[in-house]
Amino acid sequence: MGKHGCNLDGSLNAASFTKPMPTMGIYIAGASFICFLCMSKDLITGFRSRSFHCRLFSLNSMTLTLLSMATKLTTDLNSPMPSHLDQLSKLTGTVFICTAVANFMPSLATMNDSEIITNIVSLAIFIITVIVDMCIQVGTGAIYTFLPEHVIVLALMFVLLLLFCLSSFAVPATRNVLDRQYRVKLKYIDEPEKWRHDFEHLKAEMEKLCTMVHASSPQRVFGNSKMCTTAGFLNFLSVVILVEVTVRSFVPGSLSFCNGNSDYGWWSIRTILCSQALAVFVGSYAPLLRWWKMITQSFTKNFLQILKGMKDQILNPFNLFVTEQGKEDDWVRKLAFYLPVKYILTYLLNIRGTLLLPSITFILRHYPPLVNSVLKEGERESVPANFQLGHSECERMINGGIKNNPCLLIKLLKNRTNDCNSAGFFNGVLEFDNYLVPPITTSDYEIPAPPNCWTLPVVILTSVANSFGHSDKERMKSLKNIVREGLRFTKFIEENLEDKSLISVRDAAEFLWAGMDYCTFFVDINLHKELSSRGKFSMTSSPKGILKKLANAGKGCVLRSKAKLMGVPHVLWPIEVIIGYNLYRVCESILLDIEKYRTIEKLFDSIEHTISDLLAACLSNLPHALYAECVLTDIAEAEERVKRAAYVLGKSQEIFQILHFMDTPDLDHVELAYLEKWRSVKQYKDRTSGPDLA
């Protein structure tokens, strides 16, 4: 017979079945190491922010898949595990699961109802499967040592699953309560009309928001709840058991093991043990800190009560012999024995708060008391502590933004302010698309121009400049970097302030900008190929012919799709049509004033000024965008959004100094967010007041 299949006696040839097992061990170790990296990142971030939230290693399909990969050896029913390292790897895998579940607990607060159900069911199926597999291995003798420890760890794993399920009951209602509390606290924040280009004022408001968000953070509240801290204590017990077993297994003569190695190989088993041990000890740190924080707070509070009681008894010695009911009392026993023993056992060891009583209590209680208990325990931190943590986190994000400020964009805006007065600072808002340019018409009807967002004209002007400026590559590279910095702000503003009717226009801008770094395509023509074929292109060439060619290309793209546009709102227009129409209007607007720009160098300067005006006008909405980013959201997303807003505020420090003295149109903060509103006001002033207010 061949290498595979049956032997000569007709039995199955199984000689090669175990050869891939060492490779499978590396696969298991790799999954465990990825979990270790995720836990480490969360731990480092927690130390920086002093708030141990689940960010990378939270309960989701990815982490459950990694856990199932990492515990394949633990649930292996058939492979013989003779040596002490083989047996130890089985217990390490179950402790690793306990550590993962304890880390998952706070992530419940970030899930919606459907996610909670899906993830809880998936986790329950996984853990019950592991428990059943481990029981089978104990029964078959695959696990022949450390049996009491295995039973205890499996029991702890089941209790952790029970706590996880019980905690999930309170998530929706608790999150709703926290969201309402956050909305009530927002009354202390200034109205959006008062958010102006004043960095210190905005920083003060942002610090208030960071404090409010920290106090109402669902992950923080659940992390401080008794259910979550109990999970940390149970995980700590499992780690202690693992340490005890590890020490015993390496002490000569303490235990007897079989000879030989498993099919995974000695080096593969060692790799798995090292990766999972790292994950266990690093992953146990955050749950243990949550439990220790609750212990120290409870002990400190009640230790002060002990001291107060002792002070009262010492200052009033005659009251020691008589209670409130007038009966005699053994004051020596009460002072020397009863109080210390009571408070040490109850609060220092926290027997009442860390063992099984919380789960029994919560099972017997109804649903509203569960929510109230989570809120009461989760909001344990004092107001000064909340203020300090919120303030320090806000400072860290703002300082990070200041260190990464958009220096090229700031330089462009400063140069523009030196070239014109405040009244003419935003002239480019009107000049990039002149209202004298006629709309595109067919023989049957007139095709209306689509509305503009802030990003699209900036990207189109950059693309036009790119078609002229490739002979001066350094200057064009600098302009691209400036626009790249500016688009980060325009996208932030448009996402927070503009409605969904401009989504298609913003998508067109992103599509066009994405191709800028690879080629210079406008709709269906390659500009570099067309222009380079002329052979006489230089910075002193006349740009009129090139602009005309671009305008005709954009117009042609719209006319080719005219059948698709009749009666269709611009939201449903194809992206290339939106780009083509705007390209046509931008190029025709430049052609109306071509006598002012006799060389490509002067035209490049003009385009740069127009881009500067458009970005400056858009950036004037930044305070209102910061307000919307922080306030117009629910509490589940508020923490990350406030951090993002604080970072953007830090990057905008010098921008606010530039825009502080600029005159914006007489519009409310809602209308100022739209480019078309700016243009309508400036067109009116241009027609009624003459060229001085162009």
Reduced to 3 states (helix: H, G, I; strand: E, B; else coil), residue 326 is coil
Tokens of 48: 């920086």
User: Degrees (nearest 5) of the Cα angle 58, 64, 67?
Assistant: 105
Q: What is the model's pLDDT at position 347?
A: 41
Query: Rounded mean pLDDT of 574-600?
Result: 83
Q: Mean pLDDT, to the nearest integer, of 160-165?
A: 88
What are the φ and ψ backbone dihedral angles of 151, each rounded to 5 degrees?
-65, -45
pLDDT(60) > 50: yes
Mean per-residue pLDDT of the chain: 76
Tens-digit pLDDT profile for residues 443-468? 777 888 888 889 999 999 988 888 77
pLDDT reading at 577 higher than 60: yes
Average pLDDT for 546-568: 83
Report the C-alpha dihedral over residues 39, 40, 45, 49, rounded to 10 degrees. 90
Which band of pLDDT confidence, cut at 50, 70 and 90, is reported for residue 332? very low
Q: Where are the alpha helices (DSSP H) in 9-112?
A: 21-49, 61-70, 84-104
For residue 86, the SS3 value is helix
Determine the pLDDT at residue 603.
Answer: 82
Encoded tokens for 247: 């020490």
Tokens of 448: 């209306």
Q: Can you read off the two tokens belonging to residue 520?
A: 């210079």
Say whether 515 sits in a helix, a strand or coil: coil
612 burial (CB, 10 Å; 0-12 / 13-18 / 19+) is buried
Q: Write the DSSP string, 525-583.
A: EEHHHHHHTTS---TTS--HHHHHHHHHHHHHHHHHTHHHHTT--GGGS-HHHHHHHHH
Q: How many CA atoms lie within 13 A of 275 on its CB side?
A: 23
Instruction: State pLDDT tens for residues 362-397.
Output: 433 434 444 444 444 444 444 455 567 777 888 888
Identify the DSSP state of 75. Answer: T
Residue 568 has pLDDT above 50, yes or no: yes
| pLDDT higher than 80, residue 478 | yes
In a 10 Å sphere around its CB, with 0-12 CB exposed, 13-18 middle and 19+ buried, how is residue 253 labelled?
Answer: exposed
CB distance 360 to 610 below 8 Å: no
So what's the pLDDT on residue 374? 45
Residue 590 predicted with pLDDT over 70: yes
* Residues 102, 104, 109: CA angle, nearest 5 degrees: 120
Amino acid type, 277: A
Q: What mean pLDDT is predicted for residues 565-580?
A: 84
Position 351 pLDDT exceeds 70: no
**pLDDT higher than 90, residue 340:** no
Give mean pLDDT, residues 240-265: 80
**Whole-number Å distance between alpha carbons of 265 and 76:** 15
> Is the CB of residue 41 less than 8 Å from the CB of residue 54?
no
- Distance from C-alpha of 73 to C-alpha of 130, rounded to nearest angstrom: 11
pLDDT of residue 693: 35
Q: Could you give the CA distance from residue 183 to residue 209 in angstroms, rounded to a whole number?
A: 11
Cα distances from 78 to residues 73, 263, 282, 529, in angstroms, run 10, 10, 31, 66
Burial state string for 570-600 with b = 16 or more CB within 10 A and e = fewer than 16: beebbbbbbbbbbbbbbbbbbbeeeeebeeb
β-bridge partners, 525: 522
Cα 618 to Cα 378, 474, 587, 614, 672: the distances in Å are 41, 26, 22, 6, 9
Tell me the mean pLDDT in the region 25-47.
89
Q: What is the pLDDT of residue 534?
A: 44
Per-residue confidence at 342, pLDDT binned at 50, 70, 90? very low
The most confident of 112-126, 335-349, 439-453, 546-560, by mean pLDDT:
112-126
Instruction: Give the tens place of pLDDT for each residue, 116-160.
Output: 888 999 999 999 999 999 999 888 888 888 888 989 999 999 999
Residues paired with 526 in a beta bridge: 521
Supply angle C-alpha 66, 72, 73, rounded to 5. Answer: 135
DSSP 337: I
pLDDT number for residue 126: 94
Q: Which two tokens stand for residue 118?
A: 């899906």
Q: For the residues 219-245, what does the mean pLDDT come to?
A: 85
Rounded Cα gap, residues 334 and 340, in angstroms = 9
Whether the Cβ atoms of residue 597 and residue 603 lie closer than 8 Å to each other: yes
Which one has a higher pLDDT value, 376 or 654?
Answer: 654
**CA 592 to CA 615: how far, in whole Å?**
23
Q: pLDDT tens-digit profile of 173-226?
A: 777 887 787 787 777 777 766 777 788 888 888 888 888 887 777 777 777 777
Q: Output 468 or 514, whichever has higher pLDDT.
A: 514
Q: Which of 413-422, 438-447, 486-495 has the highest mean pLDDT?
A: 486-495
State residue 371's pLDDT score: 46
- At 151, list the tokens: 């039973």
The predicted model gives 586-603 an average pLDDT of: 79
Residue 680: exposed, middle, or buried by beta-carbon count in 10 A (0-12, 13-18, 19+)? middle
The model's pTM is 0.75
pLDDT band at 686 (very low <50, low <70, confident <90, very high): low
Mean pLDDT of 428-437: 82
CA angle 62, 64, 66 (to 5 degrees): 70
CB 631 within 8 A of CB 186: yes
- DSSP-assigned states of every residue in 627-640: HHHHHSS-HHHHHH
Count CB-CB contacts under 10 A for residue 275: 23
User: Binning pLDDT at 50, 70 and 90, where does residue 488 land?
Assistant: very high
What average pLDDT does this structure show over 515-523?
A: 58
Confidence band (pLDDT; 50, 70, 90) for 535? very low
Q: How far apart are CA 197 and CA 673, in angstroms?
A: 15
Q: What is the DSSP letter of 667?
A: -
